Amino acid sequence: MFIIHGLGADGHDFEPLVPALALPENAHVRFIMPHAPRLPVTINGGMVMPAWYDILAMDLGRRVDEVQLKKSAERIQALIQEQIDQGIDSQRIIVAGFSQGGAVAYQAALSFPQPLGGLLAMSTYFATADSIEPAEANRQVPIEVHHGNFDPIVPETLGRSGVERLKAMGYNVNYRQYPMAHALCPQQVNDIGKWLGERLG
């Protein structure tokens, strides 16, 4: 399972999630949590920080540097391919992302040319909905989208908008909302554990 962190964090950010998922010992799940490069981020005054892409404006549509986003998605796809080359069945590979990492996860998973096991988008938005070239191999990929209805960073309206775009494109999406801000909550972690068990069981 790949977990792609959010803006300003790093790959260690989601390490505490792993034991909290309470997966069975025989689940044989490998967690890969890559680190974003350090980039200047326009909305943060040009400050250099871990970022998968530059965010140009905090408007409702989240104007972003799509070239950088797609470059990051290609990097994740290369890491996925490395796992496949090592003998992992592509349909046992889950791609998850939180916030900015979720936007990368959408792009990486939906345009990957081999069928994946699932896509989990958390507290995020579908930044490349207008430009993505979806891969036929992942037209049926199970998609789980989670959002907090008190999120002050990525408003839930953006998360819901992404879900509606996905449905309009023919994807089957399961949407869950939680009484939380821009974070994860215990009920959500429990739901993720169950969903992973279903996908990889």
Active-site residues, by number, are 99, 151, 182
Q: How far is CA 109 from CA 19, 91, 93, 140, in A?
A: 25, 12, 10, 11
C-alpha 148/C-alpha 177 separation (Å) is: 6
Residue pair 91/117 in contact (Cβ under 8 Å)? The answer is yes
Q: Which of 34, 8, 198, 27 is nearest to 105 (CA)?
A: 34
C-alpha 107/C-alpha 109 separation (Å) is: 6
Q: Which of 93, 49, 48, 95 is nearest to 73 (CA)?
A: 95
Residue pair 36/10 in contact (Cβ under 8 Å)? The answer is yes
4 membership: H or E segment, kind and range: strand 2-4
